[in-house]
Chain A
């Protein structure tokens, strides 16, 4: 059956016109809401600053998690649907170590990150190593793992929301020295950690020998294997790092927000949205995607007209659609 084909110039222009139109409208709306009341402490600027910081620190958390997701995908074309489960596992391990086993925050953080990495590595070695290239089958295998992990975590850690207590130095709020505002130190720490991590990952991939191997593997894994690289070793290490990042995100998220069953899907969703927006496999894309998602989520909770705040999830959806309309492969995605 032949269906009409839309003319090429209409298809090319429709997306960008819609996308930039929506972007301009949203920016104007937020600016009006934030600066419309003037710049004094009576205006809406102080609230705007706090919400902006909330958005940025949430974006930092999203970046930590999504960078692991996109790293694994970029190298191995494995969509790790158990990424959200590794997030929750990392958080729960750190919580049970600090709350029940007398660990300090930092040792618990390191342990949880390493355990998360090992679980990911184990999954890769046992279930994913031998079916390289069968991407859909691998995605379904990781879904099966996520079902098992979710149920087992429910058994071991219960169904009540838990929070990890932050380390002593970061438990208080800090003075921002504008409008007399205060802000939780831990959230600022997460934001800083995300920036440091972004720089470290960028430098690691650009300037170390391992980074060269990773980039070679991304470009052409078969050729890189043919010239003598131990590709399986590179894959294993990347899977370890990617999973460890999810678990690290879990520790931060469990301290900043809380841990509960079902959050595995929440953070799997946010990782998916971040990498779909930013482009799969791209670190810069993950940073941009996290920033957009974090800001849209937080700003929409207060700048939607009252009575519509329940609809903030729809805005996340709209963000996804607008980006896909403008750039079907995400901002930094390659050709599919």
Chain B
């Protein structure tokens, strides 16, 4: 019992420490580190968090999150650069459009589960990429350049501090909101749908509608990430939502662990550090990411957070049944 309390205290201290470092990041580290690592970890973690949210609470492993991220980014860029809308209004409209598209995607994909869901959302992702790469309205292969964030967030290229804090606030809000939703009637129903859709249907719940709404909520998170990314890079192009990117985001979520929301940012941190510092050592960055991804899927399908949980259970001497994970065969679940 004492060991357990000490462990919880250690976990809290660690989480608090990470948050403090995240808050102080622009002050302790260089501007380069803040914009090349800190900022990217935040928005990439946010897209991955939308994957984790859908996988963890809705049982839907989605590959369409990068596409929705792109929808928000492209609409924002289009409205604020070519139609010269106010940055906040454009962002609001972009999030609205992305959530609308998310509802549409979700409504189509909600009839399927597991790998079928994965395949249908992959088809959405690739088709969205081809749409933006082919349609001249959104700048085709070039994308749209020169997107300016609102004055409040300052100049993202020269002084990334303000947009960094803006992104951090968004991430913390999303994290708290997801934690809150988990306990609401909607969140509980969604988890029920994840665990046993047949029983939920028999109890009179509309399974498809809940999946669709859950997917739209995931789209909202991905859209926020799309806005933050477009503002901090001042541009968006189809290259940022192609299949490699889509799979990178999945890799980030998997590396962190698909069943803990915090894992998304842990995965993003591992990914961005490798991306930034391993490229200097070797050109074969994608191969390394693939190998890490493969190792994690083979050794610990619940990612870094899953390893942490295993260790903490071992130390706390718990042998309670592990929650549902990728390692559970579908046939046993059914």
B287 at the interface (CB under 8 A from A): yes
Q: Which residues of B contact A325 (CB under 8 A)?
A: 108
Given the interface pairs A151-B290, A313-B134, A324-B108, the reply to whether A336 lies near B113 with Cβ below 8 Å is: yes
B297 at the interface (CB under 8 A from A): yes
- Main secondary structure, interface of B, reads helix
Q: In B102-152, which residues have CB < 8 Å from any A CB?
A: 108, 111-116, 118-120, 122-123, 126-127, 130-131, 134-136
Q: Which residues of B contact A140 (CB under 8 A)?
A: 61, 250, 254, 293, 297, 301, 326
B3 at the interface (CB under 8 A from A): no
Q: Which residues of A contact B116 (CB under 8 A)?
A: 280, 336
B174 at the interface (CB under 8 A from A): no
Given the interface pairs A134-B330, A265-B126, A265-B243, the reply to whether A1 lies near B185 with Cβ below 8 Å is: yes
Residue of A136, A265, A280 with most partner-chain B CB within 10 A: A136
- The distance in angstroms between the C-alpha atoms of A320 and B331, with both chains bound, is 28
- The distance in angstroms between the C-alpha atoms of A131 and B297, with both chains bound, is 11
Q: A133–B135 contact, CB under 8 A? A: no
- The distance in angstroms between the C-alpha atoms of A265 and B330, with both chains bound, is 27
Stretch binding the partner chain, chosen from B4-12, B83-91, B205-213: B205-213
Q: A310–B135 contact, CB under 8 A? A: yes
Q: A137–B301 contact, CB under 8 A? A: yes
- The distance in angstroms between the C-alpha atoms of A79 and B116, with both chains bound, is 9
- The distance in angstroms between the C-alpha atoms of A16 and B326, with both chains bound, is 36
Q: B123–A133 contact, CB under 8 A? A: no
B319 at the interface (CB under 8 A from A): no
Q: In B169-223, which residues have CB < 8 Å from any A CB?
A: 184-186, 189, 204-206, 209-210, 213
Q: Which residue of B lies closest to A275 (CB)?
A: B119
The 0/1 profile, CB within 8 Å of A marked 1, for residues 283-295 of chain B is 0101101110110
The 0/1 profile, CB within 8 Å of A marked 1, for residues 247-266 of chain B is 10011001000000000000
Given the interface pairs A141-B294, A314-B131, the reply to whether A136 lies near B61 with Cβ below 8 Å is: yes
A281 to chain B, nearest CB (A): 11
A227 at the interface (CB under 8 A from B): no
Q: Which residue of A lies closest to B184 (CB)?
A: A1
6 further contact pairs, Cβ within 8 A, besides A133-B330, A136-B61:
A133-B332, A144-B290, A144-B291, A151-B287, A321-B108, A336-B113
8 examples of A-B residue contacts, CB within 8 angstroms: A2-B204, A3-B210, A79-B119, A134-B301, A137-B297, A147-B251, A320-B127, A328-B111
- A-B complex: 3 closest residue pairs judged by Cβ atoms: A147-B290, A133-B329, A148-B290
